[in-house]
């Protein structure tokens, strides 16, 4: 048996991302021992029963003891509290990372508690499904997907390189950028689409003149694509919207300006303008499918 990359990895939280990380680490033999904390007994039992983790604790501080890599897999709003709880017991030289969809806020929350001898490297795997919980995870979730690392000013180069190797071991491609840029990019590619999907599903279900059962019956005509991401975990997303407020409000305002232009074209019966506005979006789909084919081909 080859030596694992880390003797002990601790995960705080065993939801979709945490449990998928367990599967992916097992698949690649990246961790000697996997320890985790989860708030509910049910999640801990499930994680142990499925063999996701070797040790399960109620308190984060118990899980991180002696761990060489600690990854926060929790709603981003909890980052500060957890950092405070685990700081006293983090192993000197350990890497501390996370998987949150927002990076600036996580850094702001964690930094005040961070011990000097711990390498803090925020991260975010761009992967997910609309399912939640420890049974939702699977080893392939990160395959061919991008994981973003946003090292802070004094992040140690060797630690960054090791965490990069870890994510590659989980099947990811890895990109490195600043937390600021991450938060803007994700506001566009992820936070705005989720906000809009939550909103449109809400609008449809509140419209008195059309029943929910009609909405469901005829969902194949477009609506269905929105319900998938609108089924994502509400607590996780509440935290994302609140903790990336500035960027989310900025792209939302751009979105609203564009909606205004589209609305006016419809109201004015301006077919030419309308067609021009909705034609420009086909190219990006083609480019996206090409890129995906290429990424899969490379591996």
Residues 191-230 binding its own copies (CB under 8 A) are: 191-207, 209-210, 212, 214-230
Indicate whether 248 belongs to the interface with its own copies (CB under 8 A): yes
Residues 15 and 226: their CA atoms lie apart, in Å, by 22
Does the protein bind its own copies through residue 274 (CB under 8 A)?
yes
Closer Cβ to its own copies, 129 or 162, answer by number? 129
Angle of helix 157-169 versus helix 16-28 axis, rounded to 10: 90
Among 279, 297, 298, 299, binds its own copies (CB under 8 A): 279
How far CA 173 is from CA of 159, 267, 275, in Å, comes to 17, 45, 37
CA 142 vs CA 19, 35, 187, 242, 298: distances in Å: 12, 20, 20, 26, 15
**Based on CB atoms, which residue is closest to its own copies, 42 or 238?**
238
Helices 245-267 and 179-186 sit at what angle, rounded to 10 degrees? Answer: 30
Q: Look at residue 131 and give its three-state secondary structure.
A: coil
Residue 136 CB, shortest distance to its own copies, in Å, is 14
116 binding its own copies? (CB under 8 A): no
First-last CA distance in the chain: 24
294 is a site residue for its own copies (CB under 8 A): no
Neighbours of 33 (CB within 10 A): 16
Three-class DSSP category at 94: coil
**Binding window for its own copies (CB under 8 A); candidates: 15-23, 24-32, 53-61, 287-295:** 287-295
User: Considering only residues 286, 297, 298, 299, which one is a binding residue for its own copies as defined by CB under 8 A?
Assistant: 286
Count interface residues toward its own copies (CB under 8 A): 91
Task: Write out the H or E segment, with its range, that includes residue 165.
Answer: helix 157-169
Under a CB-based contact definition with an 8 Å cutoff, are residues 134 and 151 in contact?
no
Q: How far is the CB of 177 from its own copies (least distance, A)?
A: 9
Residues 126-185 that bind its own copies (CB under 8 A): 126-128, 130, 145-146, 148, 175, 184-185
- Pairwise CA distance, residues 222 & 201, whole Å: 11
Residues in 11-70 that interact with its own copies by CB under 8 A: none
Choosing from 153, 285, 298, 299, the residue that interacts with its own copies (CB under 8 A) is: 285
State which of residues 59, 81, 258, 296 lies at the interface with its own copies (CB under 8 A). Answer: 258
Q: Binding segment for its own copies among 19-27, 30-38, 153-161, 260-268 (CB under 8 A)? A: 260-268
Of 267, 297, 298, 299, which one interacts with its own copies (CB under 8 A)? 267
Of 4 and 100, nearer to its own copies (C-beta) is 100
User: In the bound complex, what is the minimum distance in angstroms from residue 246's beta carbon to its own copies?
Assistant: 10
**Is 275:266 a contact under the CB 8 Å cutoff?**
no
> What is the closest distance, in whole angstroms, from the C-beta atom of residue 82 to its own copies in the complex?
18
Handedness of CA 115, 118, 123, 129 (dihedral sign): negative
**Cα 86 from Cα 75, distance rounded (Å):** 16
Considering the rule CB under 8 A, would residue 238 count as an interface residue with its own copies? Answer: yes
């Amino acid at each position: 048996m080859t030596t694992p990359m880390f003797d002990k990895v601790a995960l705080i939280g065993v939801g979709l991302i945490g449990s998928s990380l367990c599967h992916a680490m097992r698949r690649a033999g990246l961790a000697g021992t996997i320890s985790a904390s989860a708030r509910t007994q049910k999640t801990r039992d499930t994680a142990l029963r499925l063999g996701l983790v070797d040790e399960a604790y109620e308190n984060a501080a118990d899980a991180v003891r002696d761990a060489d890599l600690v990854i926060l897999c929790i709603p981003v709003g909890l980052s500060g509290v957890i950092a405070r709880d685990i700081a006293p017991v983090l192993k000197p030289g350990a890497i501390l990372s996370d998987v949150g969809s927002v990076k600036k806020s996580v850094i702001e929350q964690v930094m005040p508690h961070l011990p000097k001898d711990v390498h803090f490297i925020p991260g975010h795997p761009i992967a997910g499904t609309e399912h939640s919980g420890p049974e939702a995870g699977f080893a392939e979730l990160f395959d061919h997907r991008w994981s973003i690392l946003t090292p802070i000013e004094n992040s140690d180069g060797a630690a960054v390189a090791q965490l990069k190797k870890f994510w590659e071991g989980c099947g990811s491609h890895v990109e490195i950028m600043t937390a600021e840029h991450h938060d803007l990019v994700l506001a566009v590619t992820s936070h705005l689409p989720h906000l809009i999907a939550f909103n449109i599903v809400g609008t449809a279900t509140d419209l008195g003149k059309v029943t929910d059962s009609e909405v469901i019956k005829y969902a194949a005509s477009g609506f269905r694509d929105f319900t998938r991401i609108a089924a994502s975990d509400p607590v996780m997303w509440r935290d994302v919207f609140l903790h990336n407020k500035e960027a989310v409000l900025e792209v939302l305002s751009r979105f609203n300006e564009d909606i205004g232009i589209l609305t006016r074209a419809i109201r004015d019966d301006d077919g030419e303008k309308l067609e021009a506005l909705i034609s420009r979006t086909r190219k990006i789909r083609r480019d996206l499918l090409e890129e995906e084919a290429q990424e899969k081909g490379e591996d």
